[in-house]
């Protein structure tokens, strides 16, 4: 059996002080939004509580599906790298970027480069599917389980939080899914944006959701994990190789009060079951007074 924890939308706080010239961009709107309200929603102590619980549960692997930072300030990327390091070594943690991690167009040296050890294939994955020059998708293999990591993070205009995988990544994804199926593996696709068309409006959704869904339907996947909506959702997508379970998770730093669900992560147990798979999900959420983490859901998502 393999255990995989999934968390997303870290929105790391506190926000570092921004220099004046760093705010001469889309960041100025985000900066005002952060100080007007978002900093009360995404709280560091909530994230630390959840992070501690994940580390204590000792999953075999941890997947982080984007929005580690808020405005894409160079200092935020460094702090997020420290947080990743605290979560676990790159061999135990896989990360992909979200729209906030591509908030403004950055020199690669200043941005997600600091997370590179967490955003690349492992040797077993590279053997099955060599990473393309653009770095995505990359594959990590752990025994019977393969993670296929995509990037839907693109810089956009103010007030737009949309994402796109793009033609090249989609083509590589189709090949990767076929190869991993031939190897008889349980395929987990990681993407920041919700992959199904109706899950987000045009200004914050995945622009190529229809094309992406078509690839999933034709080539198959067993599990698709995403964030972005800050909501717990479960969908089942029929594919040529059986059902693909699509799960979105709330933000990992969301305060308990408020109308959006509190911080949560999900832990999956994946095991071979005869000729098929057994997949169970356990949700662990933050509760108030005193703030603590509890098992909020346990659900078998697939039997055979």
Q: Where do contacts with Fe ion occur on this chain (CB under 5 A)?
A: 67, 98-99, 228
Query: Of the two residues 220 and 227, which places its CB atom closer to Fe ion in the complex?
Result: 227
Min dist. Cβ of residue 13 to Fe ion (A) = 15
Min dist. Cβ of residue 110 to Fe ion (A) = 20
Min dist. Cβ of residue 67 to Fe ion (A) = 4
**Cα Rg of the chain, angstroms:** 18
Min dist. Cβ of residue 8 to Fe ion (A) = 8
Residue of minimal Cβ distance to Fe ion: 228
Query: Of the two residues 114 and 193, which places its CB atom closer to Fe ion in the complex?
Result: 193
Q: Report the alpha-carbon angle 98-225-124, nearest 5.
A: 95
Query: Of the two residues 94 and 99, which places its CB atom closer to Fe ion in the complex?
Result: 99
Query: Of the two residues 79 and 228, which places its CB atom closer to Fe ion in the complex?
Result: 228
Query: Of the two residues 102 and 145, which places its CB atom closer to Fe ion in the complex?
Result: 102
Query: Of the two residues 67 and 208, which places its CB atom closer to Fe ion in the complex?
Result: 67
Min dist. Cβ of residue 131 to Fe ion (A) = 24
Min dist. Cβ of residue 138 to Fe ion (A) = 20
């Amino acid at each position: 059996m393999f255990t995989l924890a999934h968390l997303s939308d870290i929105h790391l706080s506190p926000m570092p002080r921004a220099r004046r010239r760093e705010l001469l961009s889309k960041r100025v709107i985000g900066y005002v939004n952060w100080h007007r309200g978002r900093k009360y929603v995404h709280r560091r102590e909530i994230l630390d509580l959840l992070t501690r619980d994940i580390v204590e549960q000792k999953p075999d692997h941890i997947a982080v599906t984007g929005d580690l930072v808020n405005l894409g300030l160079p200092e935020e990327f460094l702090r997020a790298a420290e947080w990743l390091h605290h979560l676990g070594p790159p061999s135990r943690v896989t990360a992909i970027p979200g729209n906030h991690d591509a908030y403004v167009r950055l020199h690669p040296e200043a941005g997600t480069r600091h997370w590179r050890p967490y955003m690349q294939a492992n040797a077993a994955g590279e053997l099955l599917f060599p990473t393309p020059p653009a770095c995505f998708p990359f594959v990590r293999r752990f025994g019977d389980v393969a993670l296929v990591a995509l990037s839907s993070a693109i810089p956009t205009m103010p007030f737009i939080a949309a994402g796109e995988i793009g033609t090249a990544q989609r083509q590589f994804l189709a090949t990767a899914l076929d190869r991993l199926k031939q190897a008889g593996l349980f395929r987990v696709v990681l993407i920041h944006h919700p992959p199904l068309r109706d899950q987000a409006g045009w200004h914050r959704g995945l622009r190529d959701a229809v094309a992406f869904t078509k690839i999933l339907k034709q080539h198959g996947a067993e599990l698709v994990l995403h964030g972005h909506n800050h909501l717990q959702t479960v969908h089942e997508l029929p594919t040529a190789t059986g059902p693909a379970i699509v799960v979105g998770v709330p933000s990992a730093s969301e305060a308990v009060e408020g109308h959006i669900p509190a911080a949560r992560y999900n832990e999956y147990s994946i095991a071979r079951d005869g000729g098929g798979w057994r997949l169970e999900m356990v949700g662990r959420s933050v509760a108030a007074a005193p703030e603590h983490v509890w098992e909020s859901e346990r659900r078998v998502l697939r039997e055979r």
